[in-house]
Structure 1
Amino acid sequence: MTKPGERRRRTFLRGHRAERMALLFLFLKGYRPLARRYAAAGGEVDLIVKRGDTIAFVEVKARSVMDDAQTAITAVKRQRFSRAARAWLSRHAWAADKTWRADAVFIAPGSFPRHLKAAFELEID
């Protein structure tokens, strides 16, 4: 039997490991980090990276099965994610003339990380 809070702690640590793995994976693909775990406006973006003239706001999903990771980004999550991305953009005027997109990196044990460019539409007005 696990102690109260132990499962939550393991999940938290697994998420942080997944973010580090995703960041390394993206770095090897030529992306450079701008922010990690950016939280604002009631939302959070796991990673914000830049490659060329593109800024990618990245959601990292780690699950025990890759297919579960790919279906884990809900409509509510996309709305909160977009709010945080808008907040980041409002604080970084230099990014106004760049291309923005919402990417996702899916991680599962025994599988190579999967990077999906433009995984969903950013709700930026």
Structure 2
Amino acid sequence: MAERRSASRQKAYRRGHHGEWLAAAALMLKGYRILARRHRTRFGEIDLIARRGDLVLIVEVKARRTLIEAMEAVGRESERRIEGAADFWLSRQSGYGKLSVRFDMVAVLPWRWPVHVENVFYGGN
């Protein structure tokens, strides 16, 4: 039983890694620079942090069968965790007062190019 759980956990980890790689590639093709992947703070993890000019994206990556499933997977608890981690990361950046921050999601769907959803939620709610 433990071996089966471990194998499925490893598969999920690999799928997540692959999804984040695809999401990062999609954002880079849009002109964003990836600043961090799987950035861990005491408040939680941010899947991707990207930047273009003064705009910083805090990106949640969701691999699901449909776009609706991916969007529904970002719940209020996830939003709070991501906001806390983003605030923590931003507070450690020089000149952070000049940066605009946006919370986006990239949905990694089967047999499709990743879908970038802007403003999936608004920080500070």
Alignment TM-score > 0.5, same fold = yes
Q: CA offsets, 1:46-83, max 9 Å, x none? A: 00000121001000000133321121101000000001
Q: Look up the equivalent residue of 1:64 and give its one-letter code.
A: R
Partner of 1:81, secondary structure, is: helix
Provide the aligned C-alpha RMSD in A: 1.6
Q: Look up the equivalent residue of 1:84 and give its one-letter code.
A: A
Kindly state the Cα deviation for residue 30 of structure 1 after the two structures are TM-superposed. 0.2
Query: Which residue number corresponds to residue 61 of structure 1?
Result: 62
Counting matched residue pairs gives 124
Name the CA distance, whole Å, in 2 between partners of 1:34 and 1:112: 22
Q: CA offsets, 1:72-111, max 9 Å, x none? A: 1010000000010001011113222111110110011122
Name the CA distance, whole Å, in 1 between partners of 2:83 and 2:43: 10
Query: Which residue number corresponds to residue 14 of structure 1?
Result: 15
State how 1:24-43 maps to structure 2 within 5 Å: 24-43=25-44
Query: Which residue number corresponds to residue 117 of structure 2?
Result: 116
Name the CA distance, whole Å, in 1 between partners of 2:25 and 2:112: 15
Q: Any stretches of 5+ residues in structure 1 without a counterpart?
A: none
Q: Which runs of 4 or more aligned residues in structure 1 lie more than 4 Å from their structure 2 counterparts after TM superposition?
A: none
Name the CA distance, whole Å, in 2 between partners of 1:71 and 1:104: 11
Name the CA distance, whole Å, in 1 between partners of 2:94 and 2:124: 18
